[in-house]
Amino acid sequence: MPRNNSLSTLLHAGHTLVLDGALATELEAHGCDLEDPLWSAKVLMEQPHLIKQVHRDYYDAGASVAITASYQATPQGFARRGLSLEESLELVARSVRLADDARKEHAAATPDSGPLLIAGSVGPYGAYLADGSEYRGDYTLSAAEFRDFHRPRIAALVDAGADFLACETLPSYAEAAALVELVAEFDVESWFTFTLRDGSHISDGTPLADVAALLRVEPRVTAVGVNCVPLELVSPALGELQAAGDVPLVAYPNSGETYDAVTKTWGPAGGVADSGTLAGNVADWLALGARLVGGCCRTTPRDIEGLAGNVTPSDPS
């Protein structure tokens, strides 16, 4: 299938795009055991057809963007299972092909569905560590080490045909700076989304205004925002980013539950007793400049369907 219009073209034309929701949550609902350092990347090896099915379910629910199952798919992680570099990068490429297969199936069944895109997921170094540090940003690598870690996966995603990159769940300013260099190196569009310490700082303590200043000088970064954060932090964070510069914003938070990185379990919502739902909050996010909206952990196709129902279809014509 030929690629759709670029992400920047669609955003400049006035489109608001609905993203998918949690991949791991749905894979677990299909019976996958993700108690593993590879997390959902494990399923790329064992049951790839289920990944395609989840992508198809989200497209059918109203998503325009599928995010690939490559968040935790790295050569370093797969090497722990004895896979070679070539085998590892083939699995990264497979994550794109699975999303593309789902896209083709949905497009064939729903010819008037509009633009359908594939975002190649680039998770942070902290995801490879599998110790919750993507919510702390307390790891330290040099710029060259960050680039060396991320470069092979980015190359595989680009070569496999991802429409753009989703540099996501980033907790670290230094890591984001290294990824900006790689986005330029590969000449690929991207969005950058961050985890948060609070409504005005990313997880390593850097002010969101400083993050926005870093990213707005790179034209290939087409949107900036937050993901894998509590619902109640989304609007404050978007407000900070909106005030820091004129760039499309992206938001795909968690369901509202809280995650314990030590026990790797989910519990009741914290901070705000009732922070609502994706569908109930999306109007506020759009008013703050969000142009790409979806869900992250513990969200489902039903959540995306509800959110999509509250996003007025754009008419760039």
Among residues 217, 272, 279, 207, which one has the least CA distance to residue 243? 207
pLDDT tens-digit readout, 72-83: 999 999 998 889
CB atoms near residue 94 (< 10 Å)? 21
The pLDDT tens digits of the residues spanning 263-306 come to 556 565 554 444 589 999 999 999 999 999 999 999 999 999 99
Q: Which residue has the tokens 């307390």?
A: 138
SS (H, E, C) the chain: CCCCCCHHHHHHCCCCEEECCCHHHHHHHCCCCCCCCCCCHHHHHHCHHHHHHHHHHHHHHCCCEEECCCCCCCHHHHHCCCCCHHHHHHHHHHHHHHHHHHHHHHHHHCCCCCCCEEEEEECCHHHHHCCCHHHCCCCCCCHHHHHHHHHHHHHHHHHHCCCEEEEEEECCHHHHHHHHHHHHHHCCCEEEEECEEECCEECCCCEHHHHHHHHCCCCCEEEEEEECCCHHHHHHHHHHHHHHCCCCEEEECCCCCEEECCCCEEECCCCCCCCCCHHHHHHHHHHCCEEEECCCCCCCHHHHHHHHHCCCCCCCC
Find, among 113, 74, 79, 114, the residue nearest to 92 by Cα: 74
Render pLDDT for 153-195 as a digit per residue (tens, 0 to 9): 999 999 999 999 999 999 999 999 999 999 999 999 999 999 9
* pLDDT of 28: 86
| Burial of 28 (C-beta count, 10 Å sphere; 0-12/13-18/19+) | middle
- Domain ranges across the chain: 7-309
Tell whether the model's pLDDT for residue 4 goes beyond 80.
Answer: no
Q: Tell me the pLDDT of the chain averaged across its residues.
A: 90
CATH superfamily of 7-309: Homocysteine-binding-like domain (3.20.20.330)
Say how far residue 139 (Cα) sits from the centre of its chain: 21
Structure tokens at 181: 């260099």
